[in-house]
Amino acid sequence: MPTSNASARNRASAWYRQPVVWLGILVFVASLGGCIWMIVLGTQQSDTPLETSHTVFGVPVSAHSAANPSSDPPQ
C-alpha cells in the first residue's frame, strides 16, 4: 500500500501538473512572440536620413554628412 501512495504522490507532483510552470512557459512564449513581432514591424518601416551636417561625439549623424567631408570643418 505505501508504494501506491508514493506513486500517486509522484504523479501529482509531476512538473506538467504545476500551474506555475505553465504560466512561466506562457509568459516566455508571449515575450518571444512580442520580440519577433517588434522585429517584423521594425523591418517594415523606412529609415529616412537626417538632413544635418553636424556630428554627435565625432560620429556623423547620417550617411549623407560623410559623403561631403569638405563642408564639415575639423573639430
Please state the domain extents for the chain: 1-45
Q: What is the pLDDT of residues 39-66, one digit of tens each?
A: 999 999 887 776 666 676 767 666 654 4
- In this structure, the dihedral spanned by the alpha carbons of residues 17, 27, 29 and 41, taken in order and rounded to 10 degrees, is 160
Predicted pLDDT of residue 47: 76
Predicted pLDDT of residue 27: 98
Cα dist. 30→3, 25, 39 in Å? 40, 8, 14
Predicted pLDDT of residue 5: 76
Predicted pLDDT of residue 71: 57
Q: What is the pLDDT of residues 13-24, one digit of tens each?
A: 888 889 999 999
